Structures are given as C-alpha cells and as structure tokens.
Amino acid sequence: SERVALESGDVLVAFTDGLIEADDASDRDALFGEDRVREIVAEAAARGDSAEELTKRLAEAALAFSGQAHEDDITLVVMRRL
C-alpha cells in the first residue's frame, strides 16, 4: 500500500461513478465527466472553499448538468487539510 501526505490546503475528493456519469438532459451521450470535476475542484481549491462548500458545488453542478433529472446515486467524500 502507498501513503500520501496531505499538506495544508490540499483537497482530497472521492466519488462514485454517479457523479461523472451524470448525463446532459438534452444530449444523453454527453456526460458530466472527470474534466468538469477537476475544473470545479481546482477553482474551489484556489478560492479556499471548505470541504462542505466544494461538496455542495460538485453536487449542484452535476444536478444542473443533468437538468435535475439524474437517475443514479451520487456519493461524495471531500476532505481539505487545514
């Protein structure tokens, strides 16, 4: 097993496939995807958002992307080292 040390300000995000596989309500072939997750996490980290704020942003963005009609569960675990 490998260990990773989190430094002050680092963010760790774990999620189920329901997040990245949220599909666009108008184009079922378009998925929310890992790139959108990375972008939201990077922006939130740069702003200094809390883990709670980042969790909310990710969930709201995926639901908005899917037109509030998401069919799969989304589980998020977000930690930010203070």
Q: 48-79, pLDDT tens digit by residue?
A: 999 999 999 999 999 999 988 777 889 999 99
What is the model's pTM? 0.88
State the DSSP H helix or E strand holding residue 12, giving kind and residue range, or none if neither.
strand 11-15
Dist. CA 72–CA 38, nearest whole Å: 20
Q: In 10 A of CB 57, how many CB atoms?
A: 17
Beta bridge partners of 23: 31
